[in-house]
Each structure stands twice: as structure tokens, then as C-alpha cells.
Structure 1
Amino acid sequence: MRKVALGSYVGSAIEYYDFLIYGTAAALVFPHVFFPNLSPLMATIASLGTFAAAFLSRPIGAAVFGHFGDSIGRKNTLVFTLVIMGACSVGVGLIPSTAVIGAAAPLLLISMRLLQGFAVGGEWAGAALMSAEHAPKAKRGFYCMFTQLGLGTALVLGNLVFLGVHRAFGDAETAFLQWGWRIPFLLSAVLLAVALYIRLHVEESEVFTKSAADHSVGVPIAEAVRTQGRELVLAAGAVMGLFMLAFQVGTYFPSYAATHLHYDEDLILLVGVAGGLCTLVFVAASAILSDTYGRRRILGAGAALALPWTLVLFPLIQSGSPVRYAIAIVGTYAIIGIMMGPLAAFIPEIFAVRYRYSGTGLSFNVGGILGGALPPALSPMLLSSFGSWSITAMMAGFTVVSLVSVLLLNETAGRGLGAREATAEQLPAPDTLAHLAS
């Protein structure tokens, strides 16, 4: 179990590391490197647009790798997703700038992002399933916690690497923009080698092995939609608010702080490190508590806290105070940690084993498109056209969708994950809001 947890943790850390260093570069570097001929606003929009592009291919990856994960096994599928994901990150670090090869540079950048998103579409679901299906029922939240610790680890590691590189170059801004920013991407090769070694030594899930011997599913994703379509929609809605918060504070708000508030990049990166440490603490606490108090209750509490927080988040950032900016970012990462902790156990527990990889991956990635891709890309346009209140309204709207979706889902803690678990139709009706509050 320790080996499985470690494999899920390292793979998840690479997934988030690759996405977050790209988000950091998209906010601070790529407008200058790949879109130098555009105005600052349009360069920022174009740069964040390439970040959002990966989300377009994530559901395709979820469907493809979900099919293979439900057909040939979790382990082999995860090896493929890991290799593709890491290779694309290294590839981004090798792309020449627009000044060198012209329009081919942003086209290559988008291609790498689409391929990376394709691989990531199958990564989280597989890592979560490996932990969930190996873990003892009473400690499933605890062992699935390691998959979720990847985000905080990646935040700390990615921001520290960028901070170290940026400080090493000092005033040599030209050299940093030419090749210094590539170092964090090339370091993905080291993480990839470590994670691949661990993944190759993890055994296949016994739950899957028994199910594969007893059941034959032609198209797992089709059966998931037919049998548990309601749960697919609600699970996607439940993660939308989490994705929205994570990628707003990971991409758009650092970009806003750099371009509008003119904060020093070292400050922005140090706040990101503090946010990552905060996420680690709250992910661990909420995941462990979910074994006692239930996944739905903990996730619902996080969404309930997020709703009023979204109303004050952007005003805190716009205040022009670096201290308030730090409070806004770190506080958001605390709420993200609360919402993330139970997810790696909660979503796999929702779906039947014969299409669990497909259902988990599809719901997680559809929620990722809506919550993770749209807000950072839309925020600059909303701010320019309607003002800051529109960004606040958008964030609150996503949070409401997540809260309502969580309330409409059933509690899953303590549920068996074998082939004979209850289907969605056999489960009791969702608890009431009053019961959740109690």
C-alpha cells in the first residue's frame, strides 16, 4: 500500500508540476517570448489561452485512457499517461521563441499543450483509482490523500524552481527570457524518471483484476453515461469550483499582480510557495477527517466556505497591499486544500468498478474544462469590458454550482469498491441540506 501511495503521489506531483509551471510561465514569461508582437492585454489573453488549450483535450484523454484503464488495467495505462505528460513538458522547454522561428513557435506550444492535456486526462483518475482500490475501506481517505498532496508539492517545487532561476539571473532579464525560463520544464525529465521507476514496480489493482475476470464491458464510458449519467454530471459540477479557484490563483491572479499591480516576481513566487505549504496541511487534514465524518460533508464544508470567500478575494488583491495579496492567495489555497482532500476517494467511490476509470476521468476532466480553463481565459476580457465585479460574480457562480452538486450527491465513505457494490439506482436518496449541516 505504501508503494501504491508513493506511486500515486509522485505521478500526481508531476501532473500538477507540469501544469503549474506552465501556468506560471504563461503569466510571467510567455507573453514576451511567444507573443511579442501583440499588445500587453492581447499577449496575456493569448498566453492564458494556450494554457486553457490543454483542457480541451483532457476529456478526449479521459475517454481514451479511461477505456484502456477499464479494459487492460490501471497500471499499464498510468505508465503511458506519465511518459506522454512528462515528455510534453520537456518539449515545451525546447521550443524556440517567436523571434527565432516566427509563428511556428506558438503553434508548437499549443500542440504540446494539447498533447499534454490528452495525457493528463487519464492521469488523475488512474492515480486515484490505484490508491482507492488498494486501500482498506476504513482508511481509504487517508491513503487517497497522497494523490491529492501532489498539488501542494507541485506548488512548492514549481514556485521554488522558478524563484531560484529568476534570482540566479538577477538583472539579466534578457537571458532569463531567452533560456532561463526553460530550466523548470527541462527538470521534468528528472521527475519523470523517478515516477516511472516507481510506477513500473506497482502491482495491478486486485479489485480490477477480479472484475475483469467476471465482467466484459464493450464501451465503458457508454455504460457509465447510461447507468450513472446523473452522477457523472454532479461529480463534474462538484469539482468545477475547485478547478476555478486553483487556476485563478495559479495563473490569472499572478498575471494580474505582475501586470496591473507591478509586484515583484519574487514576491509572487514566494506567495505561491506559502500557498503550496498551506495546501499540503489542509489536504492532509480534510482527507483524514473524511474517513470519520464523510467525504460529502467535508467537501460541502469547503464549498460553503468558498462561496463568501469568492466575494472578497478579488477586492483583497486589488487593494494594492502585498500583505492582503498574500492573505488572499494563501487563504484561497487553504480552501482548495479542504475541497481537494476527500476527492480522490469520493469520486472513485461513486462509480461501479467496470467503468470506474472512465466515469472518474470524464467527470473530473469535464469539470476541469468548465472550471479550470474558462475563468483564467475569460477574466482579462471581463475585467476590460465590465470591471472587477464581473470576475467576482463569475467565481461565485462556479462555487454555487459546486456546492449544489455536492449536496445532491450521496455519501460514499465506507462503501465497498468491489464488483458487487450497490448501483446508483439501489442507493438511498441524497441526504437533505439540514442533515449535511448537522
Structure 2
Amino acid sequence: MSTTATPANPRSRVITASLVGTTIEFYDFYAYATAAVLVFPILFFPSDNETASLLASFAVFGAAMVARPIGAMVFGHFGDKYGRKATLVASLLTMGIATVVIGLLPTFQQIGWVAPFLLLILRLAQGFALGGEWSGAALVATENAPKGKRAWYGSFPQLGAPIGFIIANFIFLAINWLLPHAEDPALKSEAFLAWGWRIPFLFSAVMVIIGLWVRLKLVESDTFKKAGESGTIRKMPLVTVFRHYWKQLILGTFIMLATYVLFYLMTNFTLTYGTAQADAAVPGSGFGYTDFVLMQIIGVVFFGIFTLLSGPIADAIGRRKLLLWVTGAIIVFGLTFNLFLLPQVDPKFTGALTQAFLILGFMLMGTTFGPMGAMLPELFPTNVRYSGSAISYNVSSILGAAVAPFIAVALWAATGGSPWLVGVYLSAMGVLTFIALIFTPETKDHDYESDLGLAQSAEL
């Protein structure tokens, strides 16, 4: 019997639940990422050195990545032992509450060092929640997918990343634009810094209510039910995955590495570089905030399109083959940073080059990110699938996403404003991913129904 969506989980509900939930989670995550560049260095990490303030803000941003593997282990344990639905609801609530409270925080100017400390705690809560969110959403999609369409279904939770990015940044743009400006409306206003930045965080409450309504209607997949009936559900799935599937954990971690580094360079670093003035101590392209975010949003549209396109391609030719090709392209792309990212001497010329860079980078991002929703879960059997895929995905976030913005800014500053070393860094991470893919077997034909995991006796 093939794995298909049950009547209790019609396919439209499966797709909606996986897509809406990850959209909300990524919206919350990106709201913080945007504020980490535009607001938090000023309001939570003020200093006489702008680069130091930005690096401090990125350090707290990266701290969430450290919390993500912890969330993966906790949510993975409960997801593999009791089911996917409850963990998805819990992760959504945790992320939503943390995000809303960030919007209520007093600033450094009001309560001193306590403000960045509270921000750090809430950022860790966000990371903890996201650590359990992605894998659960990917499993809801792939464990309910029709035969031969697992990568296609697995691309829908991945689509939450570009949609969440677009919603978060459109809200930031709209608020900044609508508030009164003493100068150019493309720049940050005093009202935006005073209170406008809080609105996107508070708006998360509305989105969480919608997400909960959708997810509470789900029931467990037939695959997980079958694992329960066969007696393969583990008391300690975390022990099982580390003892018997450590090779898959390592391979999955490095398979995701280039994807993470690429994404956080295309979002955080490019926003920092693009909005830094050409005459600054560490020069950038000199675009206004509004102009550059609109350029990013155009690029992210291609991210979404290629995320969806990658699913059917991965179902047709295999996940490994597609990812080998796109990872090779990422390695080459990293060597072109100095050709695209230039100081704004001629606005039209620089703008066209930068837009082309963003579109190309996000196209690669969609093509590499889309198949991950199927490939990482396919590395593991049903009884440890949540734990295994979540740990791989989120440990990779430490090696890639947690340090990528920090390393990129440091390399950019070390070269006096040139981005070429940042691109070399991306290429090096791409080489590590390429090597991991070489040692990973194709997972397209992995049978969820028959691979339920080790029986109790095999564990002893």
C-alpha cells in the first residue's frame, strides 16, 4: 500500500497545514532578522562603533541557531513518540508568544543591559521553536504524499520561507513608508525607530491564531499509525537515532550546509552591504532601505518559484542528482560576488547588477532548498524520522546560519568593503555539501511504509 493522504487528512489540508505553519514561523524569524539589521543595533546594542553594534546584534541573531538543535531533540522526541500534530501546535505557540513579547520589550535606553538580555532569551525561544517546526511540517507533507510525489509535497513547507520573508518585509516597508519622515521616505524614520518596528512582532499574534486553527484539524498520518501498531515506536528515539543512524545525521547536516549559508548571505548580509553607504568606514552599495528591500523581495519571488519547480524535478530525476548540480552552481556563484556587488557609482548600472545578483542567488536557493523537505526525512525510518531530520537540519543551522552573518560582516570589514572573501566562504561551504552528497545514496525510492524502524528486539 502506498503512502497517501487519508480521508481525515485530505491533500488540500495537508498542504495548507504544512505551508501556513512554516510561513508563520518563518515570518516571525524574518521579522527578527530584519530588525537585527535596521533597529536592534541602535535600540538594544548602542555604541560608538556601528560595526560593533551590528556584530552584537548578529551575535544574538545567531544565538537562536544554537537553540535550534535543542528544540529539534525535544520536539523530535515527542514527535517520534506521541505523534506529529501536538509538536507542531506546541512549536507554533512557542514561536508566536516569543515574537509578540519581543514587540513589547523596553529598549537599552530605558532599562540598560536588561533589554538585550531579555532579547537574547526570547531569541533563544524562537530558535527552540523553529527547531521543532520544520521537521514536523515536512513530515506532515511527505508522510501524507501520494506515491511518486513526495518531493513535490515536501516543497510546500519549504515555500513558507519565501512567503514568510515577503510578508515580514512588506509589513516593515509599509510601516516605515506610512510613518512621518523628516527626510527621504526610503530611509528609516524616527517614528519607525521609536515604536513602528514593534508592529510586525505584535501582528504575529493574528497569524498564530490562523495557524493553530488549521493545524488543530490534522490527524496523524497512516505511516506513523502503522509504526505504532507494529511496535517500532521507541521509548527514547533520540538514543536510537544517535546509536544506529549517526552516519545519516552527519550526512544530512552537511547536505544542508551550503543552503543555510547561501540563504543568510542573500538575506542578512546583502541587506547590510546593500544599505551601507559608499563613503562609510566599511563601504557598501549605498542603497536606501526601502529600495534595497524591494530588490530583495523581487529576488525572493524567484526563490518561491524555484522552490516549487524543484519538487517535481527531484521526483523525476532524484534528489541527489539535482542537489549535486545546484551545489556545483552555488560554488561557482560564490566566486562571482566581486563582479556583482559594487559601490553605487552609477545607480542604474549598480542597481541592475545587484538585482541580477539577488535573482540568481535566490533562484539557486529555491532549487537547493525545495528538495530538502523530502530528502532529509527520507534518510531515516519512521520511528526516528522526526528526530533524525530535525537534528540534521538544525545542527546545520549552527555550522551555517548561526555564524554566516557574523563571518560575512567580519570578512567584509577585513577587506575594507570588498565582498569577494564572503563569496569564497560560500564556495568553501558548497564544497563540503558537495562531498556529503557524493557519499549519500539516492533517497527517491525510499519506502516509508516498509521502513518503520528497528523492532524492540533489535535495539537491545
TM-score (norm: length of structure 1): 0.93
Q: Which moved more, 1:167-176 or 1:98-107?
A: 167-176
Question: In structure 2, do the counterparts of structure 1 residues 83 and 421 end up closer, same or farther at CA, with 3 Å as the change threshold?
Answer: closer
1:131 and 1:143 in contact (8 A); partners too: yes
Contact 1:207 1:419 in 2 (8 A): no
The yes-or-no answer on 1:27 pairing with 2:58 is no
How many residue pairs were aligned?
423
Q: Given the alignment, which residue of 342, 366, 380 partners 2:409?
A: 380
* Separation in structure 1 between the aligned mates of residue 395 and residue 337 of structure 2, nearest angstrom: 25
Tell me, in whole angstroms, the C-alpha distance in 2 between the residues paired with 1:377 and 1:182. 24
Distance in 1 (CA, whole Å) between partners of 2:338 and 2:377 is 33
> For residue 267 of structure 1, what is the amino acid of its counterpart?
D
Tell me, in whole angstroms, the C-alpha distance in 1 between the residues paired with 2:296 and 2:254: 26
Correspondence for 2:59: 49
Question: For the Cα contact (< 8 Å) 2:232–2:452, is it kept in 1?
Answer: no
Match of 1:252 in 2: 269
The 1:229/1:211 distance shift into structure 2, 3 A limit, reads same
Work out whether 1:178 is the aligned partner of 2:194.
yes
1:386 is displaced (CA, Å) by 4.6
Separation (CA, whole Å) in 2 of partners of 1:413 and 1:49: 38
Contact 1:415 1:421 in 2 (8 A): no
**Aligned-pair distance for 1:239?**
0.6
Structure 1 residue 276 and structure 2 residue 305: aligned? no
Q: What is the CA-CA distance between 1:262 and the residue it aligns to?
A: 2.6
Whole-Å Cα distance in 2 between the matches of residues 155 and 278 of structure 1? 12
Q: Residues of 1 paired with 2:248 and 2:448: CA distance?
A: 16
Q: Which residue, 333, 352, 357 being the options, matches 1:323?
A: 352
Select which of 267, 288, 293 maps to 1:264: 288
Alignment-derived partner of residue 223 in structure 2: 207
Matches for 1:120-139 after TM superposition, within 5 Å:
120-139=130-149
SS in structure 2 of the partner of residue 191 of structure 1: helix
Match of 2:205 in 1: 189
Q: Is the 8 A contact 1:8 1:128 kept in 2?
A: yes
Task: Tell me if 1:286 matches 2:310.
Answer: yes
C-alpha separation in 2, matches of 1:27 and 1:231: 35
Aligned pair 1:110/2:120, yes or no?
yes
The whole-number CA distance in structure 1 between the counterparts of 2:363 and 2:337 is 13
State how far apart, in whole Å, the 1-side matches of 2:232 and 2:370 are. 31
Matched residue of 1:56: which SS? helix
**Per-residue displacement from partner, 1:346-373 (whole Å, max 9, x unpaired)?**
1111101111100000000011111111
Q: Unmatched 5+ residue regions in structure 1?
A: 424-438
1:64-107 deviation digits (Å, cap 9, x = unpaired): 11000001110011100010011111111111111111111111
For residue 368 of structure 2, the aligned residue among 322, 335, 339 is 339
Counterpart AA for 2:262: L
Give 2:145's aligned amino acid.
Answer: A
Q: What is the CA–CA distance in structure 1 between the aligned matches of 2:214 and 2:338, rounded to whole Å?
A: 41
8 Å CA contact 1:57, 1:118 repeated in 2: yes
Whole-angstrom CA distance in 2 between matches of 1:193 and 1:162: 21
Q: 1:399 is matched with which residue: 416, 426, 430?
A: 430
Distance 1:200 1:194, change over 3 A: same
2:435, 2:32 → 1: CA distance?
Answer: 31
Q: Deviations over 1:277-323 (max 9, x none)?
A: 11111011111111111111122221111111011125412343122
The residue number in structure 2 matching 1:306 is 330
Unpaired runs of 5+ in structure 2?
1-10, 183-188, 277-283, 345-349, 455-460
Which of 386, 397, 401 is the aligned partner of 1:357? 386
Identity %: 35
The yes-or-no answer on 1:75 pairing with 2:106 is no
- Per-residue Cα deviation, 1:241-287 (whole angstroms, up to 9, x for no partner): 00101111111220122223331011111012112211111011111
Contact 2:314–2:322 (CA<8 Å) still a contact in 1?
Answer: yes
How far apart, CA to CA, are the structure 2 residues paired with 1:219 and 1:245? 34
Counterpart contact for 2:241–2:388, Cα < 8 Å: yes
Match of 1:390 in 2: 421
User: C-alpha displacement at 1:411, in angstroms?
Assistant: 0.8
Q: 1:211 touches 1:419 (CA, 8 Å); kept in 2?
A: no
1:242 and 2:259 aligned: yes
Mapped partners of 1:145, 1:73: distance in 2: 21
Could you say if the C-alpha distance between residues 396 and 261 of structure 1 is closer, same or farther in structure 2, counting changes exceeding 3 Å?
same
Could you tell me which amino acid in structure 2 is paired with residue 104 of structure 1? V
Q: Which amino acid aligns with 1:406?
A: L
Contact 2:55 2:406 in 1 (8 A): yes
8 Å CA contact 2:286–2:343 kept in 1: the answer is no
In 2: Cα distance, 1:324 partner to 1:267 partner? 14
Counterpart contact for 2:334–2:425, Cα < 8 Å: no
1:229 aligns with 2:246: yes
Residue type of the partner of 1:224? Answer: V
CA contact (8 A) 2:271 2:292 kept: yes
1:223 deviates by: 1.2
Moved over 4 A (4+): none
**Contact 2:383/2:453, CA 8 A, preserved across alignment:** no
